[in-house]
Amino acid sequence: MPDRSWWRNGVIYQVYPRSFADANGDGIGDLDGLRGKLPYLADLGIDAIWISPMYPSPMADFGYDVSDYRGVDPLFGDIERMDAVIADAHALGLKIILDFVPNHSSDEHPWFRESRRSRDSAFRDWYLWRDPAPDGGPPNNWLSNFGGSAWTFDEGTGQYYLHLFLDKQPDLNWRHPALREAMFESMRFWLRRGVDGFRVDVLYHVMKDAEFRDNPLNPAYRDGIDSEANRFLPTHIADLSETMDVVAAMRAVVDEFPDRVLIGELYLPLERIVAYYGDRLQGANLPFNFLLIGAAWDARTIGSLVERYEAALPPGGWPNWVLGNHDKPRIASRVGDAQARVAAMLLLTLRGTPTLYYGDEIGMRDVAIPRAEVRDPFEINEPDKGLGRDPQRTPMRWTPAPGAGFTDGTPWLRLGDDVASRNVETEAADPSSIWSLYRSLLWMRRASRALSIGSVRILGVSDQALAYERVDGDERIVVCLNFTEVPAVLPIDEPAGRAVLSTYGDIRQGPLRPSEGRIYLS
């Protein structure tokens, strides 16, 4: 793969549009708000913006229930505003990646409305319909990821339809050629408008067992603790071999247009993640690697993870790393404020394409949402298990003013009680802030071939600290990270050359301070 591929050299920044910037004062972020913040993102030093769904939707799952794959929900704006975002982003040297949601649509999508009209509908087999079991119940034991059966009975036609998420999100039938082509045309619709690629939602779920066999029991399931969906192993509803054909076909569509990217959402073990690069790398350009999200936060675990991932990559496969997203607790909440700085240095100095989640650059934490204010259907369906995603979806803080510069109205989710200290305006004025660290790292990465495309090698690891090098030609950079809250001896001899950046702001030689990351140019 040539070095000129922007998605190899660049950094992706995820925007959850409801929570990024509200231009019309209704308390919900919109495309005009995002458009106004494009110069901020360009100055921060990112290269591409991944926009979570902004398509027309009843918002049962806040946009992941799509009722039109070729439009924009009025809540966010319209197609002309989306065109303006794309044009302005390109003028600033930024790329635009859209979320594509192929596993399911909204039950209000015209396709599904027609599908449920009659068993004889031409659209019937665009979705997954089955007769009841002999006892009249669901066809099998498949469960929804949001709790309860994955099957809902339709009185009008006397069959059940499948939904691996909400009952308002019926699953599409990717075995049907006409459905496939309609979805591919939806991708082309956006690619023709200048979109630079797609992040594909739950890519590993798109194909289901053709025989609709029961899933086996999960022996590790903990009743009352785990999500009900984990009661069974997803043997027949996830990561089927036929999925690779769909991925290859999506990639072929993307490759009809120059310099585009296909990214797949995959919550899978390492050996299965790398399989999604496909034969001869004709699968996803970047099968999302979420391993840092669930890994134990210590030097030996992270060092081993880097080595195992690099060793598992197919020849020519380009790595990627993610610390968080709209579905998982924020990194600062998981590891604390000091270690969030170490995490930033790790993410932006490893080999591969990093993806940032909006607000991580100011150290945003999860915000506790009182039960009466919960919006996430996951939490509503399975309360008190800590599964809700509202805490990590709260609005971006731009200023310390009321509304945090996000809105002049009432924000759709509460902002939290630390807005005065955690906001862009305040932190941009502080050279010791995590925002200043992120910006320094982003621009250092952009200026350094070793950091953007160079090789990686673990140099040393201890119970406290990890050291690795990035090398391209005669440029060599060494990164040392202390994963503990006490001083740590470097796990290698002090690198030759000079230290150029520390998570503390000021630069010292010798042992690492508590939760310090340090970069050497040697």
Q: Catalytic: 256?
A: yes
Considering the candidates 256, 373, 417, 463, report the single residue annotated as catalytic: 256
118, 129 in Cβ contact below 8 A? no
Place of tokens 């956006």: 190
Question: In this structure, are strands 455-461 and 465-472 parallel, antiparallel, or unpaired?
Answer: antiparallel
Long-range contacts of 422-426 (CB under 8 A, 24+ apart): 422/362, 422/363, 422/364, 422/365, 422/397, 423/362, 423/397, 423/398, 423/399, 424/40, 424/362, 424/396, 424/397, 424/398, 424/399, 425/398, 425/399, 425/400, 426/399, 426/400
Considering the candidates 61, 107, 201, 469, report the single residue annotated as catalytic: 201
Tokens of 56: 């027309």
Burial of 474 (0-12, 13-18, 19+ CB in 10 A): exposed
Residues 126, 115: Cα–Cα separation, whole Å: 7
- The per-residue b/e assignment along 399-431, b for 16 or more CB within 10 angstroms, e otherwise, is eeeebbbbbeeebbbbbbeebeebbbebbbeee
Q: Catalytic: 83?
A: no
Q: At what angle do helices 79-91 and 31-44 cross, to 10 degrees?
A: 10
Residues 16, 68: Cα–Cα separation, whole Å: 19
Longest CA–CA span in the chain (Å) reads 75
44, 6 in Cβ contact below 8 A? no
Place of tokens 């195992």: 308
Catalytic center residues: 201, 256
